[in-house]
C-alpha cells in the first residue's frame, strides 16, 4: 500500500468547561508527520476509553498541576490504542506487527517505537485479544499497583471495598482482590444489573449506589468496616465510605468520576479522617514504571490461570471513527461493563 500522509481523526474543538457536548469533538482530516528514525506508522484498530480524558481536555485545570500534557484545541484526542504497523523506521517493529500504543482517535498515527511509554509490553495481538487495552494496559496496571504497591499488605480475609466496581479499573480490582488475594470484596456499582455482574466477577457483595437505601445497605455490608477502600468515584460514595473505613485504614484515591464534569465533592464525614486516622493516598500507575514487568507478568499469568478477566470482562463496541466519542461518553452513562473499548469497523 502507499503510505498515507493524512488521516481522518477526531480532534478537540476547544477545552471543555462543564459537560462535554456534541460540539466538543469534530471529525477532520489532518496531516500525518513524516516518519522519523525510531518511529512507526500505525493503522489503528481499537481504542480503550479513559475516564481521565475528561481531565486532559478540561478548560480549568492548570496544566502545571496535571500529570500529562493537556489535549489542546485542534489536537487529535489522545487514547491508548491498538494498531498494526504499516510503515516503519524502527528496528523494533516491522510492518505487520500489531502493537499497543498511546495514540488517538484516528485511522492512522505516527508513534515512537517505545509505544505505551514504559508501562506495558507490546506484543503480537490477534484482533480478538484486546488485553493490552485492559488487563495488560492501564487499568490492569492501576489495579495491580494500587493493591500491591500503594495499599498496605492485603491479607486473606481483609475487607476490600471498591467503587466503580463494574468499570475498567474496578472490575480488575474486584477479581485480583478476590481470586488472588483472598480478600472479602465488597463492590459498589450503579443498578442491580451491574451489581449482579460484579458478583459474577467474584465480589462477596455488591451495593447499588443508585438505591434509596444505599447508605444503610453499605453499612450493612461492612459490619467490621473496610481495611482498604479503592475509590474511583468520589461523591456520596466516598462520603459514606469515610464512616466505614477501619481505624488506621486506607483509602486509595484512583479517580473521582462524580467530579469529572465539574461537580463539587460534598463531604459530611470528613472528620472521620481524623477520628479514625485514615490515610488517603492519590496514586497513578505512571509512578510505578519500575515494576511494570513484574505487573504484566503476574497479570498475564492470572489471565492464563482463569483467575481474572475472562472474555466477558470488557465491553467491546464496533464503531465507525465518527462514533467513537459517543462510545467514550458511555463511561458517564454507566451502561458498560469492565473496560470499554471501541473497535474500528
C-alpha distances in Å from residue 59, one per residue of 9, 66, 70, 128, 253: 21, 12, 9, 37, 23
Instruction: Write b or e for each residue in 123-142: b if 16 or more Cβ atoms lie within 10 A of its Cβ, otherwise e.
Output: eebeeeebbbbbbbbbbbbb
Distances (CA, A) of 125 to 104, 143, 201: 18, 22, 25
Q: Is position 129 an interface residue for a copy of itself (rule: CB under 8 A)?
A: no
Smallest separation (angstroms) from a copy of itself to the CB of 126:
34
Residue 310 near a copy of itself by CB under 8 A: no
Going by C-alpha positions, the residue among 338, 318, 332, 274 that lies closest to residue 131 is 338
36-44, 100-108, 181-189, 272-280 -> range binding a copy of itself (CB under 8 A): 272-280
Which CB atom, from 250 or from 319, has the smaller least distance to a copy of itself? Answer: 250
Q: Which of 55, 119, 314, 339 binds a copy of itself (CB under 8 A)?
A: 55
Q: Are 292 and 149 in contact (CB under 8 A)?
A: no
First to last CA, the chain: 19
Nearer to a copy of itself, 50 or 113 (CB): 50
For residue 19, state whether it binds a copy of itself (rule: CB under 8 A): no
b/e for 244-265, b at 16 or more Cβ within 10 A? bbbeebbbbbbbbbbbbeeeee
Pick from 17, 268, 301, 320 the residue near a copy of itself by CB under 8 A: 268
Q: CA 175 to CA 203: how far, in whole Å?
A: 8
Choices 6-14, 78-86, 96-104, 282-290 (CB under 8 A): range interacting with a copy of itself: 282-290
Instruction: Report the distance separating Cα 231 and Cα 304, nearest Å.
Output: 27
Interface with a copy of itself in residues 194-253 (CB under 8 A): 234, 243, 253
Question: Quick check: 280 binds a copy of itself (CB under 8 A)?
Answer: yes
With respect to a copy of itself, which residue has the nearer C-beta, 86 or 283?
283
- Residue 282 near a copy of itself by CB under 8 A: yes
The nearer residue to a copy of itself, 55 or 339, going by C-beta atoms, is 55
> Would you say 315 and 339 are in contact if contact means Cβ atoms under 8 Å apart?
yes
- Does residue 267 interact with a copy of itself by CB under 8 A? yes
Q: How far is the CB of 212 from a copy of itself (least distance, A)?
A: 20
Size of the site for a copy of itself (CB under 8 A): 35
Q: Does 289 bind a copy of itself (CB under 8 A)?
A: no
Q: Is residue 164 near a copy of itself by the rule CB under 8 A? A: no
Stretch that binds a copy of itself, among 21-29, 54-62, 93-101, 175-183 (CB under 8 A): 54-62
Nearer to a copy of itself, 95 or 265 (CB): 265
Q: How far is the CB of 103 from a copy of itself (least distance, A)?
A: 23
CB 314 within 8 A of CB 341: yes
Q: Which residues contact 78 (CB under 8 A, 6 or more apart)?
A: 53, 56, 68, 71, 102, 103, 104
CA distance 259 to 266: 10
The site for a copy of itself (CB under 8 A) is made up of 55, 61-62, 65-67, 234, 243, 253-256, 259-260, 264-268, 270-284, 287
Amino acid at each position: 500500500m502507499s503510505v498515507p500522509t493524512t488521516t481522518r481523526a477526531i480532534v478537540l474543538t476547544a477545552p471543555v468547561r462543564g459537560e462535554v457536548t456534541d460540539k466538543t469533538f469534530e471529525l477532520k482530516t489532518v496531516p500525518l508527520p513524516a516518519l522519523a528514525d525510531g518511529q512507526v506508522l500505525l493503522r489503528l484498530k481499537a481504542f480503550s476509553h479513559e475516564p481521565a480524558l475528561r481531565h486532559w481536555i478540561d478548560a480549568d485545570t492548570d496544566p502545571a498541576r496535571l500529570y500529562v500534557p493537556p489535549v489542546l484545541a485542534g489536537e487529535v484526542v489522545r487514547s491508548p490504542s491498538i494498531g498494526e504497523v504499516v510503515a516503519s523506521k524502527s528496528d523494533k517493529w516491522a510492518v505487520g506487527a500489531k502493537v499497543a500504543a498511546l495514540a488517538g482517535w484516528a485511522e492512522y498515527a505516527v508513534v515512537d517505537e517505545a509505544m505505551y511509554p514504559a508501562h506495558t509490553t507490546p506484543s503480537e495481538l490477534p484482533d480478538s485479544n484486546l488485553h493490552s487495552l485492559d488487563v495488560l494496559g492501564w487499568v490492569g496496571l492501576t489495579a495491580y499497583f494500587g493493591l500491591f504497591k500503594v495499599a498496605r499488605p492485603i491479607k486473606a480475609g481483609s475487607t476490600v471495598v471498591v467503587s466503580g466496581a463494574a468499570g475498567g479499573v474496578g472490575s480488575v480490582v474486584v477479581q485480583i482482590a478476590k481470586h488472588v488475594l483472598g480478600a472479602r470484596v465488597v463492590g459498589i456499582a450503579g443498578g442491580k444489573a451491574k451489581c449482579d455482574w460484579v458478583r459474577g466477577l467474584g465480589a462477596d457483595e455488591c451495593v447499588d449506589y443508585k438505591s434509596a437505601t444505599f447508605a444503610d445497605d453499605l453499612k450493612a455490608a461492612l459490619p467490621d468496616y473496610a481495611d482498604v477502600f479503592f475509590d474511583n468515584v468520589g461523591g456520596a460514595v466516598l462520603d459514606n465510605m469515610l464512616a466505614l473505613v477501619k481505624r488506621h485504614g486506607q483509602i486509595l484515591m484512583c479517580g473521582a468520576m462524580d467530579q469529572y464534569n465539574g461537580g463539587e465533592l460534598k463531604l459530611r464525614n470528613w472528620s472521620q479522617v481524623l477520628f479514625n486516622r485514615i490515610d488517603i493516598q492519590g496514586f497513578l500507575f505512571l509512578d510505578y514504571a519500575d515494576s511494570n514487568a513484574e505487573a504484566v507478568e503476574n497479570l498475564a499469568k492470572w489471565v492464563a490461570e482463569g483467575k481474572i478477566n475472562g472474555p466477558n470482562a470488557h465491553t467491546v463496541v464496533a464503531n465507525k471513527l465518527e462514533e467513537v466519542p459517543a462510545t467514550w461518553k458511555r463511561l458517564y452513562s454507566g451502561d458498560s461493563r469492565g473496560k470499554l473499548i471501541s473497535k474500528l469497523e
